[in-house]
Structure 1
Amino acid sequence: MLDDEKAKDLLSFLNLGTRADLKGQATEYILGLTGSAEGCSYLNNRMDFLRALLTLTADPSVAVVKDCYHALINLSAGELSHDPLVKEIRIVRTLLPRLLDPQYGFADQICTILSNLTRSEKTCRDVFHTLQEEGVNLAQIVEIFCTEGYNKKASLHYLGPLLSNLTQLPETRHFLLDKNRCVIQRLLPYTQYEGSTIRRGGAVGTLRNCCFDYKYHEWLLSDAVDILPFLLLPLAGPEEFTEEEMEGMPVDLQYLPEDKKREKDPDIRKMLIEAVQLLTATSKGRRVVKEKRIYLIMREFHKWETEPDVLVSCEKLIQVLIGDEPETGMENLMEVKIPEEVEEKLRHLDEEEEKQVKREKEEAAVKTTPEGAGDEC
């Protein structure tokens, strides 16, 4: 890695007043460093380099700015950089006004950096507090997310994962679920957004996280929000049901066309199922989901699904839908206290389940490998 003398020389080129060609070579070198774990580790301990990178995101040279943003994206992908970036150089304060600027050309890179920085709960809370301090509320972020063409120079798809990450915090979920704000309803149509898997997945992740707060379940399932059809339509196929079977089923899930396609991304399918299962945590939630004939949708989905881990989630939901009600005092599955020894057994079963899913995926991958694909020339 760089010795002190070389680092000093390199740093001297990383300022706004340096000749463009020399500055470009320096930022290109730094970008190369961020491509390795060793390079990232070195830079994470050099606040002077991190500050220089952030400063040069305002450089007149587009190439230099692009290199700096890509370097910051690479660095922010690792959690070791989160504290230095957020607390030491206060990157969020610099980037927020640019993100909100509908004319800013590197807003997508900013979305990616903020999405990376909010993956862990600790840094996520730091970012959220900075949003509050800067007077940026979640309603503004949702407004930008839902405004097609807000920035003609950027897609802003990564606002989806950013929102999803932010909703790992109870305080952000409570804001989105405020009944007087009508914020969560704006995200519902994005469960079927075809323009971007990233944006669609971010919206679904946000809705799934909001379903962890069982106190809002009755409202989410009511006509005021009517979340179920938005979660289930992407899981529904073209299968036909009888009039008797469809009695009570949401209208949006009835008489679907013959060419109806299911959600193509397995991770999104899994999150949709998890959201529905979370809504069955309370006795009222289970009653509504059962009365809406959701079992039929999941039954047909189970016949269609091939991904092992998604099938496991589907089977868990089906067990709730066809199973008996819990004993008195255990109606709220999120409040049930599990003895430590039972929790340990469940954890062990989950680990075994994950191993089994991994084995099945590996076996499926082997079966789909073309004959001779691994042969030497």
Structure 2
Amino acid sequence: MSTSKDLEDLVEFLHHGNTQIRQISTEELVGYSQTHTSLFKRNQLEPVKDLKLLVKDYAPIAKNALTVLINISHDTEVLRSLANDDEFLGTLLSRITYAKEESANEIAMLLANMAKDDAMQRIFDLKRDIPAGLSTSKWAIDQLLDCFVKGAEGAYNKHANYDYLAYFFADLAKFKEGREYLTNPQAHDSDIIPLTKLQVFTDHTSHIRRLGVASTIKNATFRIEAHPTLLSNLSPDPTLPPPHQGANLLPYILLPLMGPEEYSPEDTDGMLDECQLLEPDKEREQDHEIMKTHLESLLLLSTTREGRDVMRRVQVYVIIRECHMQVEDEDVREACDRLVQIIMRKEEGEEEDEIPGAGDAGGRLVELKQGEDDEDDEDERIVDIL
């Protein structure tokens, strides 16, 4: 099928009354959706409207329709049509939380794309019927979080692992309301901090999960007022406001940066328990982009004096020093350098030797130069997963 007329006829079959014809049409259009976005925008997005309805069709048709929508949702006009459609969003939420939904992974991918539109911030205000066996919360965002957590390795739905919801949370964390949700204890959920449900996946076997969670963490750390909660490893922590919950985020960022190296007793003095006595087969994260994202999260957490003091106290420097030595990637090493310059520099009113670890290897991986401790535009930028 090569002519424009043929393709237009094929698109017309999306709303054909015959199930077999609709299925053939969606199958053929999957390939064209990667290169012919404009084909689906004709007649005021009529094909997109048809595809939205086909998401509720028979399973093979629904899967193809979702794949097409995923492929064309990079287009701003299409994305706006999807993200602003309340009925369509309701359909996706109902289906992704259904334990036998065969296209749950495709829905997760589409939701991740839709989260790039500002309209998706309304997800935090949506209430849904509570799916039995999945969640105890009426809030849509909680139900999606439960899908991600309980659905790992197909534990909730044998057809899905929900990995792409990691990208969904990462993009939602670009919004102020998203960062607040992720870092605030939830009174309706035993005061659990939602980010603590995600951070445990920083060492998961799925690359998609690790990358999405790392980016979610980084975006959440842009909320400076949440840093005391994120850095605290105590629950209850009397220094935090009620309900005094600490997130204990640091070990989940540091462990992917660590390998099987042994540290001296002096280096481990004060180090987080989770970071000590690691197995001899402990593997460091292999994806340099994920490593760099974790290092940027640490850099953001060092924005305040209190954050830098915590990192000094728990020996973050020696872990980053070892990472710098072991990883042969210039971007990772540069990120290590910048972090060390921030956490090991002399604070106002302090002498150099007052800073823990400052006497070790000069307290820096490279010399601190005027202006190098200023965060550039890249480090101020919210992560956008493509």
Q: TM-score range by the shorter chain?
A: 0.7 to 0.9
Q: Match of 2:312, SS?
A: helix
For the 8 Å contact 1:98–1:104, the answer to whether it is kept is: yes
Aligned sequence identity (%): 29
- 2:300 is aligned, of 262, 274, 278, to 278
Q: Match of 1:193, SS?
A: coil
Question: Does 1:15 find its partner at 2:15?
Answer: yes
- 1:169 is aligned, of 175, 186, 203, to 175
Q: CA deviation at 1:137?
A: 3.6
Mapping for residues 153-302 of structure 1, pairs under 5 Å = 153-180=159-186, 181-182=191-192, 183-194=194-205, 196-222=206-232, 223=234, 224-302=246-324
Larger relative helix fraction: 1
Q: CA deviation at 1:134?
A: 4.7
Inter-CA distance 99–16: structure 2 relative to 1 (3 Å threshold): farther
Map of 2:50 onto structure 1: 52
Quote the Cα distance in structure 1 between the aligned partners of 2:113 and 2:146. Answer: 21
Question: Does 1:28 find its partner at 2:27?
Answer: yes
Map of 2:239 onto structure 1: none
Inter-CA distance 169–232: structure 2 relative to 1 (3 Å threshold): same
Render the CA deviation track for 1:191-244: whole Å, top value 9, x for unaligned.
Answer: 1112x1111222222122111111111121112222111110111112222212
For the 8 Å contact 2:295–2:339, the answer to whether it is kept is: yes
For the 8 Å contact 1:92–1:127, the answer to whether it is kept is: no
Q: CA deviation at 1:275?
A: 1.0
Inter-CA distance 258–144: structure 2 relative to 1 (3 Å threshold): same
Inter-CA distance 95–280: structure 2 relative to 1 (3 Å threshold): same
Map of 1:305 onto structure 2: 327
Normalised by the size of structure 2, how large is the TM-score?
0.77
Normalised by the size of structure 1, how large is the TM-score?
0.78
Q: CA deviation at 1:33?
A: 2.5
Q: Match of 1:14, SS?
A: helix
Q: CA deviation at 1:305?
A: 1.4
Mapping for residues 90-109 of structure 1, pairs under 5 Å = 91-109=88-106
Q: Which amino acid aligns with 1:189?
A: V
For the 8 Å contact 1:118–1:127, the answer to whether it is kept is: yes
For the 8 Å contact 2:202–2:209, the answer to whether it is kept is: no
Q: Which amino acid aligns with 1:109?
A: E
Quote the Cα distance in structure 2 between the aligned partners of 1:137 and 1:250. Answer: 35
For the 8 Å contact 2:202–2:252, the answer to whether it is kept is: yes
Q: CA deviation at 1:319?
A: 1.0
Map of 2:62 onto structure 1: 65
**Number of matched residues?**
325
Quote the Cα distance in structure 1 between the aligned partners of 2:336 and 2:281. Answer: 23
Inter-CA distance 251–84: structure 2 relative to 1 (3 Å threshold): same
Q: CA deviation at 1:318?
A: 1.2
Give the gaps of 5 or more residues in structure 1.
Answer: 329-341, 352-377
For the 8 Å contact 2:11–2:40, the answer to whether it is kept is: no
For the 8 Å contact 2:324–2:332, the answer to whether it is kept is: no
Render the CA deviation track for 1:332-366: whole Å, top value 9, x for unaligned.
Answer: xxxxxxxxxx99x9869x79xxxxxxxxxxxxxxx
Taking only aligned residues, the RMSD between alpha carbons, in angstroms, comes to 2.7
